């Protein structure tokens, strides 16, 4: 599958993503990321979020950062922005469609740039990092997160393996290829340096538990709320629900048929300009 399919959060995906995937894996990570921003001693007046998705981090920043901090939230995908703005934030934020590799902002116009689980989708990561550096003020900070290895993210790993059983001749590999495929610190540090940052980035591991009321919730979240859906439908146009059911059965086999609880693990990277 091409990178264009990997980035295609279209049609019903944004709504399913927001309903199921955000509470499953993104909310606790958003709290941790904003904790890191709020703990910084350097004052902020203007902050940029790239690849904001449906706005889980945006909402957390709006509710917890000082009202004096202007928040500009961007995403390339109109459907994700529509979902984000429909939910809204506790105070006004500026929403804008923008490509992280060609940001429509002046040099040195933000005190911080934030990106939760978006950089894995950028086709040219050094270029996106260079853009983040360009729009940062001197002394500003770029904080972004990536998912750790698939085996440290249990529901995603089980879903990937279950779908390999459903489609043995051509297993769907979106999850391991893209969202869970960019987590080598040496590679990330090299890309950050190629983006023009001269300070070395720091790497922090964040581990949490992911909870759902039934095994089908993570199955639906991953199979129907991500571009994995396109991979399934490309292999079997009428097979989305049966593939989702197979993923749910695999989760139930490992975690039980009632409420389920699995590990999630991320890496948070911080680098100052």
Report which DSSP code applies to 102: B
For 177, counting Cβ atoms within 10 Å of its Cβ (0-12 exposed, 13-18 middle, 19+ buried), the class is middle
pLDDT confidence of residue 11? 56
CATH of the domain at 58: 3.40.50.150
The answer to whether position 249 is within a domain reads no
The pLDDT score that the predictor gives to residue 17 is: 85
Residue pLDDT, tens place only, 2-25: 454 444 444 577 788 889 999 999
- Contact partners, residue 241, CB within 8 Å, separation at least 6: none
DSSP class per residue in 12-55: THHHHIIIIIIIIIIHHHHHHHHHHHHT-SS--SEEEESS-TTS
95-120, pLDDT tens digit by residue? 999 999 999 999 999 999 999 999 99
Cβ neighbors of 149 (< 8 A, separation 6 or more) are 180, 183, 265
Rounded to an integer, what distance in angstroms lies between the CA atom of residue 119 and that of residue 142?
Answer: 12
* H or E element, residue 270: strand 260-272
Strand partners, 36: none
Enclosing domain of residue 128: 3-151+174-210+263-272
Beta strands in 135-257 (DSSP E): 136-147, 202-212
Q: From CA 196, how far away is CA 191, in angstroms rounded?
A: 9
- The stretches in the chain having pLDDT less than 70 are 1-11
3-class DSSP state of 254 = helix
At 122, give phi and psi (nearest 5°). Answer: -75, 125
Domain assignment present for residue 130? The answer is yes
pLDDT number for residue 87: 92
Indicate whether 231 belongs to any domain: no
| Listed residue (14, 77, 82, 70) closest to 43, CA to CA | 70
User: How many domains does the chain divide into?
Assistant: 1
Q: Does the residue 7 lie in any domain?
A: yes
Report in angstroms the alpha-carbon separations of 118 from 6, 129, 162.
12, 12, 25
Tokens of 14: 């944004």
Q: Do the beta carbons of residue 18 and residue 9 sit within 8 Å?
A: no
Count of other CB atoms within 10 angstroms of residue 88: 14
In a domain, 183, yes or no: yes
Domain assignment of residue 36, yes or no: yes
Q: Does residue 91 sit within a domain?
A: yes
- Residue 54 located in a structural domain: yes
């Amino acid at each position: 599958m091409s990178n264009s399919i990997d980035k295609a959060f279209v049609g019903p995906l944004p709504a399913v993503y927001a309903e199921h995937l955000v509470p499953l894996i993104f909310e606790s990570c958003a709290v941790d990321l904003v904790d890191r921003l709020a703990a910084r001693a350097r004052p902020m007046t203007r902050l940029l979020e790239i690849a904001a998705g449906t706005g889980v981090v945006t909402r957390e920043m709006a509710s917890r950062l000082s009202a004096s901090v202007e928040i500009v939230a961007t995403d390339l995908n109109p459907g994700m922005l529509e979902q984000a703005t429909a939910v809204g934030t506790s105070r006004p934020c500026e929403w804008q469609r923008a490509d992280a590799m060609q940001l429509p902002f002046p040099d040195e116009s933000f005190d911080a740039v934030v990106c939760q689980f978006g950089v894995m989708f950028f086709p040219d990561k050094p270029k996106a990092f260079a853009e983040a550096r360009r729009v940062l003020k001197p002394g500003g900070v770029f904080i972004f997160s990536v998912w750790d290895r698939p085996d440290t993210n249990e529901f995603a790993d089980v879903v990937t393996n279950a779908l390999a059983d459903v489609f043995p001749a051509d297993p769907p590999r979106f999850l391991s290829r893209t969202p869970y495929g960019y987590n080598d610190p040496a590679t990330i540090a090299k890309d950050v340096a190629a983006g023009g940052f001269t300070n070395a980035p720091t790497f922090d591991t964040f581990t949490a538990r992911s909870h759902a009321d039934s095994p089908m919730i993570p199955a639906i979240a991953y199979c129907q709320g991500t571009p994995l859906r396109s991979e399934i439908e490309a292999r079997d146009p009428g097979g989305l629900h049966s593939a989702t059911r197979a993923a749910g059965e695999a989760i139930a086999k490992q975690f039980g048929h009632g409420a389920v609880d699995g590990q999630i693990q991320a890496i948070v990277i911080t680098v100052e300009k």
